[in-house]
Amino acid sequence: MRKEERLAKEITEQLGGTGNIAELASCMTRLRVKPVDASKVSLEGIKDIDGVMGVVEAETLQIILGPGIVTKVADEVSRMTGMNVASVDDDGEIDTSLEGLAARTKAGLNEKNATPFKLFLRKIASIFIPLIPAIVASGLVAGITNVVIRSGADPESTAVQMLSLIGWGLFSYLGVFVGINTAKEFGGSPALGGAAGILLINPGLANITLFGEALVPGRGGLIGVMLAAALIAFLEKRIRKVVPSAIDIIVTPTLALLITGFATFFVLQPVGGFLSDIITKGLLGILDVGGILAGLVLAGTFLPLVVTGLHQGLTPVHMELINTIGDDPLLPILAMGGAGQVGAAFAIYFKTKNARLKKVIKGGLPVGILGIGEPLIFGVTLPLGRPFLTACLGAAVGGAFQAFFKIATIAIGVSGIPLAFLVHTHQIVLYLIGLLIAYAFGFLFTWMFGFKEEMAKNI
């Protein structure tokens, strides 16, 4: 029996059987499940399955399996249940990752994060999570294309033009996808959300003049797109309540689109642009004034944001920086969070005698080096406690380095080594040096005072 088949079978059994799965989804590292009856789910049984790196609960019951394998397991569960794999929301019972310590830690964090502002950030994260594979792939291809051109290739050659089209194509139409997902999150029709996104990125905007000034395609960025898509979803639901069913399919979407269109031109695009300017100028001001200190604080506090799952809510911020100034100086700094984590995991691996802990680290390190930190967070450092803090300290040192040299990316993607393809070509070596610094200090801090063998006795 293949590994994914075994995992799917054992996980389904511990979930209470195929009939107890109401909804099914997967992201880059997690299998997300909404059970019909939570009392039938054996969380301890799931955690004991070989190959499960942790169990957390945010909006759904999330089983951490790691990148690649999670998609295969989701497909197997889908085959067993006859359900499609899709994004879902859930209000289940809180639990967490590897064994009891992580469970208590994560449960406390989830409870603290249940504030209106953080719930709002989670909604934004839900908009972008389904887009991550396409963003990562496109960003990496765009970065490789940039390296190829800087290495001397003819930018007008057919091969380079094709690579450029493959890499940058998504970012030209990202507003449409964001509009679709935003409308879904707010209970509207996805197609109308996509239409709302087109309103802001359509090149024809340049031909419209309001108040003596021509409109600017893309003004307001993804923030404006989300505002427009949320509005069209709101209008669709309200209009549908008063329109007779016989003409609903014609009247409701037409009125919703018309109202949203004019509201976008006169209000939402300027408001989105204003908010975009505040965010980008504010961040750039912090980095310019704070310098090394700003990089240290931002990188050192990023891992707690990853624990809550709210880090995906920063995607529109990264995109606005790229759209506004042409690159993103924030992403390399935040990428050091994962690097400090990798260094801490190496230190624990060489110090501990716990065979199970070593096995978890061996499974999480390769993907951690490639920029996916959740297996190491929920399987290693967070359950142990203190190593999570020393990983943050190592990240802070790497972030200070990235801020000092003003390293920036031309697109967004996963952190770790792959991000080297996305930074400016002349900064690749500096970025990698910063990555090694974060590894080294994460290792050093954890080795010196972050880990003792007795911490691993319950792992």
Which residues participate in catalysis according to the annotation? 27
Of 341, 329, 345, nearest in space to 304 by CA:
341
Query: DSSP letter string over 62-109?
Result: EEE--TTHHHHHHHHHHHHHTPPP-----------BSHHHHHHHHHHH
Task: Return d(Cα 280, Cα 268) in angstroms, integer.
Answer: 18
Could you tell me if 368 and 395 are in contact, meaning their C-beta atoms sit under 8 angstroms apart?
no
The secondary structure of 194-239, three-state, reads HHHHHHHHCHHHHHCEECCEECCCCCCHHHHHHHHHHHHHHHHHHH
Q: Which of 297, 292, 395, 378 is nearest to 338 (CA)?
A: 395
Question: In b/e form, how buried is each residue of 247-261, taking b as 16+ CB within 10 angstroms?
Answer: eeeeebbebbbeebb
What is the 8-class DSSP label of residue 328?
B
| 141 CB burial (10 A radius; 0-12, 13-18, 19+) | buried
- Closest CA relative to residue 170, chosen from 336, 315, 330, 280: 315
Instruction: Quote the CA–CA distance of 171 and 409 in Å, as a whole number.
Output: 14
Contact 369, 277 (CB under 8 A): no
**What is the enclosing helix (H) or strand (E) of 61?**
strand 61-64
Alpha carbons 280 and 190: distance in angstroms, whole number: 28
